[in-house]
Amino acid sequence: MCSSISWCVNRGDFKRRFEVILSQEDDTLDGRSKDILRERYVNIVDKVEIGAKRSSFWFMTFSSLTTIGSIIVPALISIQDKTFDINSNEQDKKQHQNNIYWASWGISLMVTMSNALVRLFNFDKTAITRKLRMNHLKSEGWLFLELAGSYSEFGTLQDAFQTFCNNIERIKTEQVEEEYTFNNSFGNPSFRENEIGNSTFQNNQNRNSAFQNNQNRNSAFQNNQNRNSTFQNNQNRNSTFQNNQNRDSAFQNDTMV
């Protein structure tokens, strides 16, 4: 819980730790590249981290209110007809029932509003996606400084700097797209199901098209085979005709002799 509300005072230590490693780096990175890392990359990570903690804080707060309120309301209703004083009179019982009624109503309203706010602002989903993006950005930065992972093929940090910038901007763009298209895609199950259905339909269409192409190829091959067979038959007929001609010529010669 403390880490979730630290965004109020911005106590994240990633900037300090990254700056320590960056200051110890040798001269493979020029000054401009270091300034870009400090002013662009570190600021992106800080903002995403604060956003993730903010979403986590509100999600935990409203979820806690919803859970606790859902437990308290049935408990209050169960003691609506029982007062705390054994020797209470009828007036005390009516007052007790009235207090329990309005307390239950207020807590029920709080539970409903808390749950509605979570669903409205998608605190449950944004907390997860922002946390994932934050961890991805941090991991990308450490892999870059260590020349590990996808950066292991580079000899120096300066050689890997452009690739690192491309990766960071891509991650940031994906994070922004998730933020502004969340309600239309991830937050709408029907939309997601339709997307899956359309994708499946498109795949089936592609399979049918590929099958039809294969059928056409087979038909073309069969036609070629038929043409070759017809050509062979014609060749055989011509050969037979030539043989008959030769026989007639030979018979003619024998007759003349």
Q: Which domain holds residue 156?
A: 2-187
38 and 160 fall within a common domain: yes
26 and 89 fall within a common domain: yes
In whole angstroms, give the CA distance from residue 115 to residue 118: 5
Among 169, 175, 164, 186, which Cα is nearest to 18's? 164
Q: Containing H/E element for 29?
A: none
- Asked which of 139, 157, 187 is the last residue of a domain, the reply is 187
Q: Mean pLDDT for each 10-residue chunk of the chain (257 residues)?
A: 48 77 76 89 90 92 94 88 76 84 92 93 87 91 89 90 93 85 49 48 56 63 66 67 64 56
Contacts of 126 (CB under 8 A, 6+ apart): 51, 55, 179, 182
159 and 39 fall within a common domain: yes
150 and 171 fall within a common domain: yes
* Distance of alpha carbon 160 from the chain centroid: 26
Number of compact structural domains in the chain:
2
43 and 150 fall within a common domain: yes
62 and 129 fall within a common domain: yes
Contacts 24+ apart (CB under 8 A), 204-208: none
Among 11, 135, 118, which Cα is nearest to 55's? 118
129 and 229 fall within a common domain: no
Q: What pLDDT score was predicted for residue 29?
A: 84
Q: What are phi and psi of 10, to 5 degrees?
A: 55, 60
pTM over 0.95: no
- Asked which of 149, 170, 187 is the last residue of a domain, the reply is 187
Q: 124: which 2 tokens?
A: 């449950």
Contacts 24+ apart (CB under 8 A), 181-185: 182/122, 182/125, 182/126, 182/129, 183/122
C-alpha angle 166-171-58 in degrees, rounded to nearest 5: 155
Q: 69: which 2 tokens?
A: 């309120």
128 and 240 fall within a common domain: no
Q: What pLDDT score was predicted for residue 110?
A: 94
Q: What pLDDT score was predicted for residue 1?
A: 46
- Asked which of 187, 207, 222 is the last residue of a domain, the reply is 187
125 and 200 fall within a common domain: no
108 and 210 fall within a common domain: no
